[in-house]
Structure 1
């Protein structure tokens, strides 16, 4: 099955005549007849009911017509997207939730003004989910926590981030994980890359968490250029 066969099939379906369809697609009738027969053999069904000099769609032909029209429409759309000088089409972007809320709104607004023909679809989630989306082709690109180490992907740093630990007022300054050894800690959910960084901080300092520690989704984001909350 190829696009030429689909175009021929649609021409015959719309005209009900091999002769008229051949004129429409600029082919000789015998070539059209052969290609339609080849398409039917490939599908294993008869697409037309032949009545004297007329052809009308069979039940299978009616079903196939809908899909063939969708395929040809998508092909035309793809040609328009790649043929134009101005970028257009769908751009699926993934992002961490905090990044989407704080870092990129103005960037996306500027992008939309510069490329109005691009339809931007934004999805949010943890880094692992976003990376999987890029690998699977569901996302065109994604903002994730770095550094990115994957043989099938390329990444570059765009925003510096600082991780903070926030304690009640009056708590002694916290500079090491051991200084909150055994405390209840609220952090990021299990599949979040920030969570892994936080756990590594505990592990490197040989610190432990309390048995009743709850590691939940409690997130925050401060731009690295702004004053950071006190570690206390």
Structure 2
């Protein structure tokens, strides 16, 4: 098996489509299909079931994918090893919580791009649980997520501490605890968001019911709906400060055990060397 064929197979498995895999690999679609057919013929197994334009990986394909990941990773590590101290280049895929991307990353990304203009930066945002899976599935090279992280497959380092605040509409009275916002709708990101879990835990720990949870895709939408009186939310104070949104809502201080949350940078433990990634990690220490 050639590494190039395994790379094509892996990309088709990740994209679920020959067309999308061809675009990602900068190859013509017929070449990708031909190489995939050749690989199946050489192995004597069906790697994908075709359903229209979708490619559904088979059990045999899933087993091969595990080996393809390892072989391609070892090949990349071997190249970096023999080249020695390689200058960061190529693509760096970064995962980040949306609020972190808005409040913390612009300065870091700008400085990194100026220092390493040959690195192509790709940013994927989402909740913590989603981002951890993206790292584990080799979809991103590293991610900024909320602690605690209990995955032995991942290396992790703390990068900063956020202060979370409770948001209510501007006319709401003082908030000393969950009872002061009882039966309010909780506004947050989709399931898997660590900040949303903290807000739900704050209510549950006090034995105070809330009306329901409404999910949103952006923090701007959450803040806008809080300002309109739709419910309450939990958000890093830094986001409100940088975006000048403090006048549209009220920010209520929370107890330290709820408010203080550490943001961690995580990456796969079994990929010890990655020039572009390692330079990005080092940029947070500057």
Relative to the length of structure 1, the TM-score reads 0.59
Residues 99-148 of structure 1: CA distance to partner in whole angstroms, max 9, x if unpaired? 11221011011111222222221111111111001111111100111122
Provide the residue aligned with 1:132 in structure 2: 133
Provide the residue aligned with 1:216 in structure 2: 215
Provide the residue aligned with 2:166 in structure 1: 165
Provide the residue aligned with 1:196 in structure 2: 197
How far apart in 2 are the matches of 1:116 and 1:168? 43
Residue pair 1:81, 1:88 contacting (<8 A) in 2 also: no
Residues 180-223 of structure 1: CA distance to partner in whole angstroms, max 9, x if unpaired? 1222332332232211111111111111012xx34222255432
Aligned length: 161
How far apart in 1 are the matches of 2:82 and 2:240? 40
How far apart in 2 are the matches of 1:225 and 1:161? 12
Residue pair 2:127, 2:189 contacting (<8 A) in 1 also: no
Provide the residue aligned with 1:103 in structure 2: 104
Alignment of 1:24-173 (within 5 A): 43=42, 79=79, 83=83, 85-173=86-174
Superposed CA RMSD in Å reads 3.3
Q: Point out the structure with the larger strand share.
A: 2
Q: How much does 1:79 deviate?
A: 4.0
Gaps of 5+ in 2: 4-40, 44-74, 217-221, 224-234, 254-286
Relative to the length of structure 2, the TM-score reads 0.49
Residue pair 1:91, 1:118 contacting (<8 A) in 2 also: yes
Gaps of 5+ in 1: 4-41, 45-74
How far apart in 2 are the matches of 1:2 and 1:79? 16
Larger RCO: 1 or 2 (CA < 8 Å, sep 6+): 2
Change (3 A) 1:105 1:169: closer
How far apart in 2 are the matches of 1:169 and 1:79? 57
- Residue 198 of structure 2: SS of its match in structure 1? helix
- Residue 230 of structure 1: SS of its match in structure 2? strand
Change (3 A) 1:106 1:81: farther
Residue pair 1:81, 1:89 contacting (<8 A) in 2 also: no
**Larger Cα-atom Rg:** 1
